[in-house]
Chains A and B, each alone.
Chain A
């Protein structure tokens, strides 16, 4: 799907973000390897899911792309143009084509502005429309996200979580950006509200044709929305594939574990499934393991040792459009299943 599109909307190459923590008083600080050598492309009109658990670095990737934090190394290209080292001033006109929706609809809207003014703000700042024209575009945007036009005179605290997230979407999309970064946009919402926001995001994407990097910890929402998925673990991408391929044929042991651990709302299927419970916890990104970063928890560590103890597995093509960073993966030779039949069960579980 992405190959067919010409120039990618967004290209991230070799992105690295290290934070220095502590040390101000003690002398030597520690370096947190939040993102280490992450590369991916987001095709024109594509929905790419970036999946990972807490501490995987997925939000840092988003913040680097938005230049909310400065990347340590690597490059970010927006429609072919390198934006990694642009100054704030140089970046400003490009902000029109790159927008973000935040996770928490409660704290990401200014409580002292009406939601209409919040949605009009980008138009005002970029001097794109004023007066009646601005108002018209705000009303049109409200309509697109399913809010009645009267709602624009209200304040954020008067709205429900779902309505606020609609306002957040309206603000991000009012300039018709070519790329939308959505960082866990539904995680703070109740299930019944989540569904309407996910449906809305999908409709908007089809109507307006923007490309979307959808960041989440929830595999099921990715599966509903995304064309392609990249799985992150401890600052690195461990696997990328189309959603069908990933769900039918997950390779990286971490992806396999993640798929097997997700609960499905079906007691028959859920109780039949073989689950892989990973040993231990995600290591600290301040001291990532040598070699393969997953090796400390990998159920297949015995098979991949000793190579995995010292060498970082590169993200290699496993099949067309499917790349895996695992010593056990080679073209045409799949990684062993970590739970017999576990992987298949996950893919065939239906409601």
Chain B
């Protein structure tokens, strides 16, 4: 890979709670190249959202973040809140899952997008309005001249998500972080949002970090995939490689658990027994071992990430398609 745009090294996030420390993210590293779509996939509580929120300092103060997040020659984790605000929304922007609650209901769409333009680019009111209409056009909102003066409640869920994306793209950022951008939407609307993100990447060259639990969405749009489990990286590879040759038993289990339209319907779906371990007592061994059909004495240590195939890393001592009984 060429010089990465964003490099995350040994990122750990801990929360101090009444029940003790919760390790939401444990020594996670990944890199994002310019113009790339990186998918981060995992189930609830795996730390995927916390990871991305920590990059931009969006976590509450109870979070202890350590590690390094290299972007444009600086470590984002070391920036002052003031400097971080300049990066946030300008160079790296964020699209949240809930388009219903992440827009301010008392301001028009134009005012909300205009604020970003005014704050970061210093555009005048007139110029901001003109640019806002262009942005709404870019995200394919019909009749942008009219929509710009509407309030969020006048828009449907899909439209609101488009407005969120327009706002995120307002300053032509280098990185767009999209946290479950289609989860709250219907499938027919989801298809349109995925097409829009693809188009954004192609036309503007924006790199995208896409956080999702949906492997179908990953299959649709990601170039490279990081599979997370219990705050750690379980596996990482290019998208075609990952789906064709999944190595980690968790990834294999997830792929088998999804019902999919096929000529022959399976007799049973593959189940993953047990449940995700509590992050308060993250084991000092493989976190998946308790649910893993391959677990043995070798799994008593935290498995190191290693190359299982070319450009395909996995954190498992028994990787591969076959079950080593």
Contact = CB atoms under 8 A, between A and B. Distances in A.
B190 interface: yes
**Max count, chain A CB within 10 A of own CB: residue among B156, B243, B258:** B258
Given A160-B275, A262-B216, A281 B158 contact: yes
Given A270-B219, A281-B159, A264 B43 contact: no
B43 A224 contact: no
A27 interface: no
12 contacts: A191-B213, A223-B265, A261-B187, A262-B216, A267-B218, A267-B240, A269-B219, A275-B195, A281-B158, A346-B261, A350-B262, A351-B255
A277 B261 contact: no
Nearest to B272: A192
Nearest to A269: B219
**Max count, chain A CB within 10 A of own CB: residue among B259, B266, B272:** B259
Contact of B188 (A198, A224, A258, A349): A258
A213 interface: no
Nearest to A265: B215
B253 A351 contact: no
A259 B187 CA distance: 9
B262 A349 contact: yes
Interface string B234-251: 000001100110000000
Interface in B198-224: 213-220
A278 B220 contact: no
B265 A190 contact: no
Given A53-B188, A224-B266, A259 B272 contact: no
Nearest to B191: A261
Given A190-B44, A351-B260, 20 more contacts: A53-B188, A54-B157, A190-B43, A190-B213, A190-B276, A196-B273, A202-B268, A262-B216, A263-B190, A263-B220, A264-B216, A264-B219, A265-B243, A265-B258, A267-B219, A277-B192, A349-B260, A349-B262, A350-B264, A351-B255
Interface string A188-199: 001111111011
B261 A191 contact: no
B43 A192 contact: yes
Nearest to A271: B220
A307 to B, nearest CB: 24
A349 B261 CA distance: 7
**Max count, chain B CB within 10 A of own CB: residue among A221, A277, A280, A348:** A277
Contact of A195 (B192, B218, B243, B270): B270
B261 A264 contact: yes
Nearest to B258: A265
Given A267-B239, A277-B195, A217 B260 contact: no
A347 interface: yes
A48 to B, nearest CB: 16
B19 interface: no
A281 B189 contact: yes
A162 interface: yes
A195 B269 contact: yes
B311 interface: no
B266 A270 contact: no
Interface in B134-189: 142, 156-159, 186-189
A3 interface: no
A259 B261 CA distance: 9
Interface string A276-300: 1110111000000000000000000
A196 B43 contact: no
B316 to A, nearest CB: 16
A266 B219 contact: yes
A151 interface: no
Contacts of A86: none
A348 B188 contact: no
A53 B190 CA distance: 12
A271 B256 CA distance: 20
A167 interface: no
Interface in A53-94: 53-54
A318 interface: no
Given A267-B219, A270-B219, A195 B257 contact: yes
Nearest to B242: A267
B263 interface: yes
Contacts of A190: 43-44, 213, 276
A262 B195 contact: no
B216 A263 contact: yes
Given A199-B271, A270-B219, A281-B189, A348 B258 contact: no
A220 interface: yes
Q: Which 5 A-B pairs have the closest CB atoms?
A: A263-B216, A195-B257, A224-B259, A53-B186, A192-B272
A38 to B, nearest CB: 19
A247 interface: yes
A268 interface: yes
A92 B13 CA distance: 53
Nearest to A351: B260
A219 interface: yes
Given A190-B213, A191-B254, A162 B275 contact: yes
Contacts of A347: 261, 263
B191 A192 contact: no
A277 B260 contact: no
A267 B275 CA distance: 28
A257 interface: yes
Nearest to B240: A267
Interface in A159-188: 160, 162
A282 B191 CA distance: 14
A247 B261 CA distance: 8
A199 to B, nearest CB: 5
A271 B195 CA distance: 11
B263 A220 contact: no
A308 B68 CA distance: 60
Contacts of B268: 199, 202
B254 to A, nearest CB: 6
A192 B254 contact: yes
B260 A264 contact: yes
B216 A192 contact: no
A190 B45 CA distance: 10
B253 A220 contact: no
